[in-house]
Amino acid sequence: MKDLGAPLLSIVDGRRAASRRIRGPQPHFGPPLRCNARLKKLLTRHYFMSRYAEGARPVAWVTSGAPVELLRVFDFYTVYPENHGALCGAKRMGTELCAAAERQGYSRELCAYARIDLGHHFTGKTPAGRLPRPDLLFACNNICQTVVYWFRSLAHYWDIPLVLVDTPFNFETPSDLQNQYVAAQLEETIPVLERVSAQRFDLGRLQHVIGLAKDTAALWGEVLDTLKARPAPMTIFDAFAHLAPIVSLRGLAVTRTYYRMLLEELRERVDRGIGALTVERKRLMWDNIAIWFKARELAGLFAERGLNFVTATYTNAWAETGAMIEPQRPFESLAKAYSRIILNNNLKGRLQLMERLIEDFGVDGLVMHSARSCKPYSIGQYDLKRALTDHLQIPSVIVEADIADARAYSDKQVATQLGLFFEALEHRDVPRR
Amino acid sequence: MTATDLPERKTYLRQQKAEHQRNVLGVFPAVYPREVLWSLNILPVEIWDPPLQAGRSAAHLPPNTCDVACRGLELILQGHCDDLDGFLFPHTCDSIQNLASIVNDYLGTGKPCFFFHPPRGSNSKAAGLFYRRQLESLASAVRQHFGGPFDAGVLSASVAMGQAIDAAICEIYELRGQDRLRVDNAEFYEILRAGEYLHPNETLPLLKKLTEKTGSVDHRKTPVVLSGVLPSPPAFLRLLDDLDLRIAADDFMNCSRRLQVPPDPIEDPFTALTERYFRMPVCPTRQSTTLQRMQRLIALVGSTRAAGVIFSVLPFCDPELFDLPPLVAELEKRGIRTLVVEAGLNRQLSGQVAVRVEAFAEMIGSGLQ
């Protein structure tokens, strides 16, 4: 669930711009989604409003996999540092902010999002204009342990409370014991949230918020399901951007409304046979976080070969676990849903998910991004790749790069890796159905 | 038994199996309830830094994986774990987490894997209850696999043994801090780390013997505090010895950060173990804040009159690397000299590391006191 770039509007913009640029002799992209403009408006408003939240509303900085529904009850304005990291990466400001953190002694080996965030702390620089200083940090280690150390550093520098929801990793089938532990922690956070927000907890409101989140997750699942169509009405690069509201604005009515509109538009495109690419020859799956500073370039590179990414391992995470949420059992069901997201599951679980996605979406090839920043996503990919090759005989490639630090990217190396993959893909005779 | 006649690890494990019918579990870093295993006649053998050349692990782990995880996997892949009856993976960090999943889900070692999650948050009611129930769950799972009855009395005895070991180590650290222990850095840690594979019946006498090696020291060495994951490689410790630097105290993940100070009386063994966990010194892999770590380091420097702090950093070790900048900044602000070195776990120490440590020793006046 890492990152899910809310402000990846630049990617959307880029896709539209690229589409405009190349809709001459070689128009590889179909018409852009009408909802892109709506998404931009929604997220721009969110970031714009955040500048004025400080002092007016309690502000929390939140990790992408944290159960934000709890914060909504207390009217917290939420900011996602991982989103911000993705934005900085996409705007090619990531390296500069990483370097700023490194000058303060932070190792280049650490997660680029964390370094960007710390670099922002030390310099105040951000492409978002200004980020509000938080009253509270809210972290959940269901996406990685790194967020624990990262948010502890922020808590230290700002001397503000850090609420950590500790979700034991699912090495095996999740046990009742784990679930009860997470649920009990959620209940234990209530007094802290009450104190910081100066508001009383309201169970009815939590149930309402959870209901919205559940509905929205279901809609998101339906949105992703439209990509099963041939041609797929959008690419997974579009989905990365349109995932942003369910992450950043989960539990709000505006988000549910947004996904209803997006779903309607995508279904209309499916009915009319409008694809994300003008020609969709083969269908691919992406594994891991995007290479934000190269996303536009990579989207074009694949599109010109008629290769469309129709699914990714993390985009459906909220759709999948959202169904586990039960408004009548708020703490228990939130604990269950948030403990079972992809990055908190063992590699066997990830393999099963990938196999299912490959089958369901008729995937012909797999691109795995080994992200230097993200150990939980990247360690184990070699074994996953081997297992998928054995089980499904599917061509795959591992691209070594990073999510937001451009210094970890080698054009030449990636070109070589992808060149071999393209060749293997072309020699795969029978497309999957 | 002394440092010079410590048994070779493999021979010792075979002997334990043959003579005591003990099952042996390979345990990955860092914190686990050793007493539960002891009580079930299982010998935990910790896997931190086996002296192996990396090779086969590269087929499973990307290059940004820490050396502890790489070497642990290498140990399995090179067939050095044949004498082990299973593995225990505490959930310490992202690298150990995914390594555990690779071993359990893909390697097909044919050996059982057990897991344990040290809570990250504060000592809340939820965390305490979870920890305690995990202890019971682990005991049950291990017992179910290896057989044998559970005996609360035996567990209480194991807890008492663990407390005695902790107390002995604390005494040794105190002697070390006061410069009353007549052993060099290399020997000091060789004995302390023997507890990573010896049965407590052998560990305790070994530690007791070490506490007897006291007396006035002829040649005063400059006291320093070391922080990091583990005191390794031995070449690094020998270098410090050669430079007349005495490790007066440490903040190592696999040494002093795992000690309980002071022990509680045992009424219920599971409760005692739970309290032990939450009373251990702070560690970024568990419950801790940056401020608490700072305070601990400053206290260690103060109590041992150390001339500086050396951070021995392992590449790609996220928990340590995140804490490093604020710790260094605060210590420097207080006039405490610091050195950050990436000694790694290779047997051979790089010339660059040696030069930097030499310069640091000179700066803090080693040999002049």
Q: Does B59 touch chain A (CB under 8 A)?
A: yes
Other C-beta atoms closer than 10 Å to the C-beta of A198 total: 8
How does pLDDT run across A173-225, given as a tens digit for each residue?
999 999 999 999 999 999 999 999 999 999 999 999 999 999 999 999 999 99
B62 — contact with chain A (CB < 8 Å)? yes
pLDDT of A428 higher than 80: no
Contact A379 B99 (CB under 8 A): yes
Q: pLDDT tens across A375-403, in order?
A: 999 999 999 999 999 999 999 999 999 99
Decide if B102 and A171 are in contact by the 8 Å CB cutoff.
Answer: no
Q: For position B68, what pLDDT does the model report?
A: 97
pLDDT tops 50 at residue A427: yes
> Is residue B321 less than 8 Å (CB to CB) from chain A?
yes
* Chain B residues closer than 8 Å to A105 by CB: 324-325, 328-329, 340
pLDDT of residue A6: 37
CA distance B192 to B210: 9
Distance of residue B283 Cα from the nearest chain A Cα, in angstroms: 11
* CB atoms A185 and B126 under 8 Å: yes
How near does any CA of chain A get to the CA of B325, in Å?
A: 5
pLDDT beyond 50 at B81: yes
Residues in A closer than 8 angstroms to B133, CB to CB, are: 177
- Per-residue H/E/C for chain A: CCCCCCCCHHHHHHHHHHHHHHCCCCCCECCCCCHHHHHHHHHHHHHHHHHHHECCECEEEECCCCCCHHHHHCCCEEECHHHHHHHHHHCCCHHHHHHHHHHCCCCCCCCHHHHHHHHHHHHCCCCCCCCCCCCEEEEECCCCCHHHHHHHHHHHHHCCCEEEECCCCECCCCCHHHHHHHHHHHHHHHHHHHHHHCCCCCHHHHHHHHHHHHHHHHHHHHHHHHHHCCCCCCCHHHHHHHCHHHHHCCCCHHHHHHHHHHHHHHHHHHHHCCCCECCCCEEEEEECCCCHHHHHHHHHHHHCCCEEEEEECCCCHHHHHHCCCCCCCHHHHHHHHHHCCHHHECHHHHHHHHHHHHHHCCCCEEEEEEECCCHHHHCCHHHHHHHHHHHHCCCEEEEEECCCCHHHCCHHHHHHHHHHHHHHHHCCCCCCC
pLDDT at A12: 46
Distance CA B358, CA B143 (A): 51
pLDDT band (50, 70, 90) for residue B218: low
Chain A residue with the nearest C-alpha to that of B321:
A107
**Phi, psi of A150, deg, nearest 5:** -65, -50
User: CB count, 10 Å around CB of A203?
Assistant: 11
B332 touching chain A per CB within 8 A = no
Determine the Cα–Cα distance for residues B128 and A336; give it in Å rounded to an integer: 20
- Stretch B37-49: mean pLDDT: 97
Given CB atoms, is A171 within the 8 Å cutoff of chain B? yes
Are the Cβ atoms of A141 and B315 closer than 8 angstroms?
Answer: no
Do A347 and B121 lie within an 8 Å CB cutoff?
A: no
Chain A: give the shortest CA distance to residue B94, in Å. Answer: 6
Is the CB of A149 inside 8 Å of chain B's CB atoms? Answer: yes
Using the Cβ of A167 and the Cβ atoms of chain B, whether some distance falls under 8 Å is answered with no
User: Does residue A1 carry a pLDDT above 70?
Assistant: no
Return the number of other C-beta atoms located less than 10 Å from residue B145's C-beta. Answer: 14
- CA torsion sign for A179, A184, A188, A190 is positive
Q: To the nearest whole angstrom, how far is the Cα of A328 from the nearest Cα of chain B?
A: 22
Task: For residues A194 and A348, give the distance between their C-alpha atoms in angstroms, rounded to a whole number.
Answer: 40
Mean pLDDT (whole number) for B125-142: 97
Q: What is the pLDDT of residue A73?
A: 98
Give A291→chain B minimum CA distance, Å. 17
SS (H, E, C) chain B: CCHHHCCCHHHHHHHHHHHHCCEEEEECCCCCCHHHHHHCCEEEEECCCCCCCCCHHHHCCCCCCCHHHHHHHHHHHCCCCCCCCEEEEECCCHHHHHHHHHHHHHHCCCCCEEEECCCCCCCCHHHHHHHHHHHHHHHHHHHHHHCCCCCHHHHHHHHHHHHHHHHHHHHHHHHHHCCCECCCHHHHHHHHHHCCCCCHHHHHHHHHHHHCCECCCCCCCEEEEEEECCCCCHHHHHHHHHCCEEEEEEEECCCHHHCCCCCCCCCCHHHHHHHHHHCCCCCCCCCCCHHHHHHHHHHHHHHHCCCEEEEECCCCCHHHHHHHHHHHHHHHHCCCEEEEECCCCCCCCCHHHHHHHHHHHHHCCCCCC
C-alpha span between A118 and B303 (Å, rounded):
33
State the pLDDT confidence band at B215, using cuts at 50, 70 and 90: confident
| Facing B315 at nearest CB: one of A109, A111, A164 | A109
Other residues' Cβ atoms within 10 Å of the Cβ of residue A192: 14
Q: Which residues contact A88 (CB under 8 A, 6 or more apart)?
A: A94, A97, A116, A120, A126, A127, A404
CB of A250 within 8 A of CB of A20? no
Q: Which of A106, A148, A347 sits opposite B106 (nearest CB)?
A: A347
Q: Does A372 touch chain B (CB under 8 A)?
A: yes
**Residue B60 to residue A382, Cβ atoms within 8 A:** yes
Asked if B284 and A149 come within 8 Å (Cβ–Cβ), the reply is yes
Contacts of B85 (CB under 8 A, 6+ apart): B23, B24, B25, B42, B111, B112, B146
Starting at the earlier edge strand, list the strands of the sheet with A396-401. A307-312, A282-287, A365-371, A396-401
Q: Facing residues of A408 across strands?
A: none
Q: What's the rounded Cα separation, in Å, for the pair B185 and B245?
A: 9
Residue A17 has what pLDDT?
Answer: 47
Question: Is B120 in contact with A400 (Cβ distance < 8 A)?
Answer: no
Q: Tell which of A149, A163, A189, A390 to mutate to test the B interface (max B CBs under 10 Å).
A: A149
Selected residue of B65, B73, B105, B137 to mutate for chain A interface (largest A Cβ count, 10 A): B105
**What's the average model confidence in pLDDT over A404-413?**
96
B265 confidence band (pLDDT: 50, 70, 90): confident
pLDDT, average across residues B3-22: 92
Helix B269-278 vs helix B152-177: crossing angle, to nearest 10: 30
The verdict on B141 touching A (C-beta cutoff 8 Å) is: no
pLDDT tens, position by position, B229-250: 999 999 999 999 999 999 999 9
**Nearest one of A214, A69, A68, A80 to A134, comparing CA atoms:** A80
Question: Which of A417, A409, A340, A345 has its CA nearest to residue A376?
Answer: A345
Burial readout B2-31 (b: 16 or more C-beta within 10 A, e: otherwise): ebeebeebeebbeebbeeeebbbbbbbbbb
Phi, psi (degrees; rounded to nearest 5) at A107: -70, 145
Q: What are the angstrom distances between the C-alpha of A157 and each of A108, A153, A162, A165?
A: 20, 6, 12, 20
Give percent of chain A above pLDDT 90. Answer: 85
Please report residues of A whose CB lies closer than 8 A to that of B340.
Answer: 105
Decide if A176 touches B, using CB distance below 8 A. Answer: no
Provide the mean pLDDT of chain A: 92
Average pLDDT, chain B: 94
Confidence of residue A11 (pLDDT cuts 50, 70, 90): very low
* Whole-number pLDDT of residue B244: 95
Question: Counting beta carbons within 10 angstroms of the beta carbon of residue A12, is it exposed (0 to 12), middle (13 to 18) or buried (19 or more)?
Answer: buried
Q: Is A216 on the interface with B (CB under 8 A)?
A: no
- pLDDT beyond 70 at A256: yes
The 10s digit of each residue's pLDDT in B106-124 is 999 999 999 999 999 877 9
Q: Does A311 touch chain B (CB under 8 A)?
A: no
- Binding-face residues of A in 314-353 toward B, CB within 8 A: 346-348, 351
Longest dimension (CA), chain A: 63
Structure token digits, residue A252: 């709000």
Residue B113 with chain A: CB contacts under 8 Å:
171
Between A413 and B260, the more confident residue is A413
Give the pLDDT confidence of B142-198 residue by residue, as tens digits.
Answer: 999 999 888 999 999 999 999 999 999 999 999 999 999 999 999 999 999 999 999
Look-up: residue for tokens 């041609």? A231
* Cβ-nearest to B115 among A166, A171, A184: A171
* Cβ atoms < 10 Å from Cβ of A73: 25
* Interface contact flag, B322 A168, Cβ < 8 Å: no
Contacts of A107 in chain B (CB under 8 A): 321, 324
- CA torsion sign for B18, B23, B26, B32 is negative
A-B C-beta contacts closer than 8 Å: 152
Q: Which of A:396-425 have CB within 8 Å of B?
A: 400
Q: Which of A353, A379, A384, A389 has the highest number of chain B CBs within 10 A, making it the mutation to test binding with B?
A: A379
Cα(B7)–Cα(A85) distance, integer angstroms = 51
Provide CB contacts within 8 A for B343, sequence distance 6+: B232, B233, B236, B312, B313, B349, B353
Tokens found for residue A204: 């009815």
Q: How far is B44 from chain A (nearest CA, A)?
A: 20
* Residue B246 to residue B187: CA distance in whole angstroms: 12
Instruction: Give the pLDDT band of residue A7 (cuts 50, 70, 90).
Output: very low
Does B188 reach chain A within 8 Å, measured CB to CB? no
User: Cβ A378–B105 below 8 Å, yes or no?
Assistant: no
User: ∠ CA(B170), CA(B171), CA(B176), 5° rounding?
Assistant: 95
Instruction: Please check the confidence at residue A429 and state whether its pLDDT lies above 80.
Output: no
Task: Select from A63, A169, A288 the residue whose CB has the most chain B CBs within 10 Å, as the one to mutate to test that interface.
Answer: A169
As given in the structure block, the two tokens for residue B158 are: 């194991």
Strand B308-312 vs strand B337-341: parallel, antiparallel, or unpaired? parallel
In chain B, which residues have their Cβ closer than 8 Å to the Cβ of A181? 119, 126-127, 129-130
For A17-56, write each residue's pLDDT tens digit: 444 444 444 479 999 999 999 999 999 999 889 888 988 9
pLDDT at B43 over 70: yes
More confident residue, B266 or B63: B63
pLDDT tens, A346-359? 999 999 999 999 99
Rounded Cα–Cα distance for residues A31 and A40 (Å): 17
Quote the minimal CA–CA distance from B171 to chain A in Å.
32
A-chain CB neighbours of B325 within 8 Å are 104-106
Q: What is the dihedral of CA A356, A357, A359, A360, to 10 degrees?
A: 110
Partner A, chain B 96-125, Cβ-Cβ below 8 Å: 97-102, 104-106, 113, 115, 117, 119-121, 124-125
The predicted structure's pLDDT at residue B150: 87
Edge-to-edge order in the sheet of strand B42-46: B42-46, B23-27, B86-90, B113-116
User: Residue B130 and residue A177: Cβ atoms within 8 Å?
Assistant: yes
CA torsion through residues B279, B283, B284, B285, sign: negative
> Residue B215 class from Cβ within 10 Å (0-12 exposed, 13-18 middle, 19+ buried)?
exposed
Contact A372 B95 (CB under 8 A): no
Which site among A140, A162, A171, A390 would you substitute to test the B interface, given the most B Cβ atoms closer than 10 Å to its Cβ? A171
